[in-house]
A and B are shown apart, each in its own frame.
Chain A
Amino acid sequence: MKPLLDSLIARFGITDPGLTLGVYATGMVVFCAIVLMGFVAPAAGIISFIERRIAARMQSRVGPNRVGPQGVIQWVADGLKCLLKEDLIPTEADHLLFRIAPYLVFIGMFGAFVVIPFGSSLVIADLDVGLFYLLGITSLVSVGLIMAGWASNNKWSLLGGMRAAAQIVSYEIPAGLSLLTVILFAGTMSVQGVIRSQGWAPHTWLMFQNPFLFASYFIFFTAALAEGNRTPFDIPEAESELVAGYNTEYSGMRFALFFLAEWANLYIIGAVSAAVFMGGWQLPPGVPDAVRPVAELLLFLGKSSIGVFLAIWVRWTFPRLRVDQMMEVCWKYLIPISFANVVGTAVWMVFLPKGQLPASAASFVMVALAAFLVVLFVRRVRMNLRESDMPIHLNPFV
């Protein structure tokens, strides 16, 4: 990268040191954006395919399986189809805002990837205010959604946009408070800093440090689902009520951008919860240095896929909440509980200081409790499987 920029500087005879620095910075930004885009777009597509297959299996269907072996390149076909479609703009729409809106949604989503740490050195920018930045930049999505809803000059779109605004504004609070619990415990807002404050073993993960952080994880996850307009909080695009909500009037490439943002957002949910609550890329000691970056990347992708799977699973399990129910969940339950979590964590840190025996013992107990919950859950699933008379088919491919 640097030789290319050097040659550019030499070619245009730039001598001013400030300008040279600017060229380097811009070059790096463009480079990072291209690399990231090369990750985001396929990731969103692949997640869309995986989601459709998982959804299908949960509904005893097969799912897309015709494009390529087992349908694995279905997402490419879908994307290409969207690109080739006519880009319609309604005559009565506000043309400028209508065109800008998908890009704002996309920027809001794409900007979040800047602070997603794929490894100890694989991060675009380790901002000191990383988590704060994350909350801020993802709110840009809501601006885009309102803009799309307003500019479409369509009542369904407008209702969808308004609902998106109400929802995102409400759910920012529990999400922010849950991250505040983490910030309180880790003592830093930098995402890398939060990861470095954890270890590789589950009992060192922030999620299992105390009951409040454990609750924070679930509240953060719920709020993130709501911010990403995922079912059961998909009222801005509720098909049965609003046609398609804010994207009713969109077609072709712009429609694809909305969906790219939606599935990339799904990955962000998984990645942030993995980084903040599950120890991110922290590898056990003893991994040779040569494979460390790759191992870190794989570990992080693996951990984020937990959150992605959980979000897909939740989506295909629960029905959509009504608008008032959704607000009730947020304001009556999630927000008071998150406040309690913040206070509880602070009190916990005073009485059980980090690094001392009682706190470590408590984290072991938390891990044991979580493992117990998982065992209970597995038993429950096995019971369901035993009681049903349908044949069992564990192979993900049909």
Chain B
Amino acid sequence: MAVSEYIDNIKGTCSTLFDGLAVTLSYMFHAPVTFQYPDRMPQPLQDTLPARYRGHLYVDLDQCISCLLCEKACPIECIKIEDVRIEKIMITDVDGRPTPKVKEPTLFNINMYKCMYCGLCTDPCPTGAIRFTKEFEGATTNIQQLHFRFVTQGRREMAVALGAEQERKAAEKKAAHAAAAPAAVPAPAAPAAAAPTAPPPSPLPPAADSGPAASPAAN
């Protein structure tokens, strides 16, 4: 090793040590960039997340038309829906468009602990009722707390009552129809397949009953 190289090495060492120490010292006077999650945040972390963040799923039952598209789309079948037929009402979807609603869910459960946050349920939803929230803090000591039951007991009772009301009305209408129309009208074969969620008595004979009951759904 030449003497000049040796001295250059020493000089290089001293100057780089000098620079390096200056850099770290200046960083010591900078404000830390740490977010002290969760308890010392300037604002809740959920508020700082991007708009399309995929957190827990949420269902707005007032917008849900119980079309079951989300249930069918879910690749791991973590959504479970049961519903009743109600009188047709008009609701507004997330985009403000009027949408008819003829079914009301009596059960809308999502197993959030099975959910893989793929978003396939939110895509087909025609009204935007099922959507992601920015909530992601799912840690819990009881896994059942992650089994979201969106239909509360009160709402369920209300829906069941509405459903019973609608059934009664349908029966009345049917009776009126039956009284007005001659008994010889043949029943079409399609209705049973067209309305699987229709009240159970429909597929049953006599044929005179099932024809008119299915006709509103076919229309």
Q: How many A-B residue pairs have CB under 8 A?
A: 72
CB proximity of A50 to chain B, nearest CB, Å: 12
B43 within 8 A of partner (CB): no
B48 within 8 A of partner (CB): no
B30, closest chain A residue (CB): A390
Distance, CA A7 to CA B18, complexed state (A): 60
CB proximity of B41 to chain A, nearest CB, Å: 13
State the majority secondary structure of interface residues on B.
Answer: helix
A60 within 8 A of partner (CB): yes
B18 lies within 8 A of A380 (CB)? yes
B32 lies within 8 A of A57 (CB)? yes
A388 within 8 A of partner (CB): yes
Tally of contact residues, B, Cβ under 8 A: 22
Distance, CA A62 to CA B32, complexed state (A): 6
| Those of A40-66 within 8 Å (CB) of chain B | 54, 56-62
A328, closest chain B residue (CB): B9
B28 lies within 8 A of A57 (CB)? yes
User: A61: which B residues are within 8 A, CB to CB?
Assistant: 32-34
B29 lies within 8 A of A394 (CB)? yes
B20 within 8 A of partner (CB): yes
Distance, CA A313 to CA B32, complexed state (A): 17
B34 lies within 8 A of A57 (CB)? no
B20 lies within 8 A of A392 (CB)? no
B141 within 8 A of partner (CB): no
A317 within 8 A of partner (CB): yes
Contact mask A88-124 → B, CB, 8 Å, 1/0? 0000000000000000000000000000000000000
CB proximity of B38 to chain A, nearest CB, Å: 13
Distance, CA A236 to CA B152, complexed state (A): 63
Distance, CA A46 to CA B206, complexed state (A): 90
B23 within 8 A of partner (CB): yes
B18, closest chain A residue (CB): A377
User: B28: which A residues are within 8 A, CB to CB?
Assistant: 54, 57-58
CB proximity of A66 to chain B, nearest CB, Å: 9
Distance, CA A381 to CA B18, complexed state (A): 10
A385 within 8 A of partner (CB): yes
**Which A-B residue pairs are the 8 nearest by beta carbons?**
A384-B26, A393-B31, A380-B22, A317-B24, A390-B30, A391-B31, A62-B34, A57-B28
Residues on A facing B (Cβ under 8 Å): 54, 56-62, 313-314, 316-318, 333, 337, 377, 380-382, 384-385, 388, 390-394, 398
Known: A333-B13, A380-B22, A381-B26. 5 other contacts (CB 8 A): A60-B27, A61-B32, A61-B33, A333-B10, A393-B30
23 contacts between A and B (CB under 8 A): A56-B32, A57-B27, A57-B30, A58-B28, A59-B27, A60-B31, A60-B34, A313-B24, A317-B21, A317-B23, A333-B9, A337-B10, A377-B18, A377-B21, A377-B22, A381-B29, A384-B26, A390-B33, A391-B31, A393-B29, A393-B30, A393-B31, A398-B32
